[in-house]
Amino acid sequence: MAELGYEVAQSNAAWILDKFGERSMCMGESDFCTDAERHQRAHSLWWQASEQGNEHAALLIGDAYYYGRGTERDYQRAAKAYMHAKSQSNAQAMFNLGYMHEHGQGLPFDLHLAKRYYDQALEIDPAAKLPVALALTSLWMRKNYANSFLVHLIDSLPSVYPKVEAWVEDVLLEEGNATILTLFVCLLTVLYLRERHRRHAVPAAAEAAVAVPQNPNEHAAPVLN
């Protein structure tokens, strides 16, 4: 179906080639596709799908060039692909272009254009309110506090995130460690609930122990005249 020109089939075939790698059937020039041939064919299918109006395909091409997945990292080609997706009103592509303008990656460093793209992304997709708000906050800090510690911290997040993600997968999500972590969390929960119950029980017991003094004349015997 992809070879017949159906853009949905082209996009799906490209996704399978990129996602499943060696497990996807792909015939190269001599034998099964090499990794380079597989990614090249996936990119070709994505381009064909994007030319027929599949905005998501153009976005994936931009991501491949931006992150260097299956090809060398090339910010200029990524920007070109994002521009193509933007022309099809893709909010994520607009957001990515704003980010690239903000950091001067493949596009001129321009905070005004960055804000414009962020605003356009929000206009196209109201669900992007939170990421756009965070991006505009970063933009404001970069404009008013250039070269400050906070700006350097924000710039370091993209490099820190993969390390944190790898640590979570290798350490926390490892079967034995995950079991120990779960038991530890359960233990903390039990201790917290017991302490909370004890704190509520002590004042209640203290209130019950305090007897209300009775009026000494309340039960006095009647005086006989």
- pLDDT tens column, 131-171: 999 999 988 888 888 777 777 777 776 666 566 666 666 66
Question: Both 10 and 79 in a single domain?
Answer: yes
Could you give the CA distance from residue 16 to residue 59 in angstroms, rounded to a whole number? 16
177 and 126 fall within a common domain: no
In this predicted structure, the answer to whether residue 74 has a pLDDT above a threshold of 60 is: yes
123 and 170 part of one domain: no
Residues 145 and 80: their CA atoms lie apart, in Å, by: 30
Of 46, 63, 87, the last residue of a domain is 87
> Tokens in use for 15?
């996704």
pLDDT at residue 120 tops 90: yes
Domain membership of residue 212 (yes or no) is no
Please check whether residue 143 is in contact with residue 111, taking contact to mean a CB–CB distance below 8 angstroms. yes
Q: Is the pLDDT of residue 174 over 80?
A: no
Q: How many domains does the chain have?
A: 3
Q: Is there a domain that residue 169 lies in?
A: yes
CB neighbourhood size of 38 (10 A): 21
Burial of 9 (0-12, 13-18, 19+ CB in 10 A): middle
Task: Name the one residue in this structure whose structure tokens are 């792909």.
Answer: 26
User: Does 30 share its domain with 69?
Assistant: yes
Q: Which residue has the higher pLDDT, 193 or 184?
A: 193
Same domain? 156 vs 99: no
- Within this chain, do residues 57 and 24 fall inside the same structural domain, yes or no? yes
Strongest mean pLDDT among 17-21, 65-69, 174-178: 65-69
Contact by Cβ (8 Å): 102, 138: yes
Among 44-53, 71-80, 182-191, top mean pLDDT goes to: 71-80
* Whether 118 contacts 132, CB under 8 Å: yes
Residue 67 lies in a domain: yes
Do the domain assignments include residue 213? Answer: no
d(CA 88, CA 95): 14
In angstroms, the CA 224 to CA 138 distance is 91
Task: Tell me how far CA of residue 145 lies from CA of 96, 105, 142, 149, in angstroms.
Answer: 22, 20, 5, 9
Residues 118 and 189 in one domain: no
Residue 162 is assigned to a structural domain of this protein: yes
209 in a domain, yes or no?
no
Taking residue 74's Cβ as centre, other Cβ atoms within 10 Å add up to 15
Residue 113 lies inside a defined structural domain of this protein: yes
Is position 219 within any domain?
Answer: no
Distance CA 50, CA 47 (A): 5
Shared-domain flag, residues 139 and 162: no
Its domain, for residue 4, covers 1-87
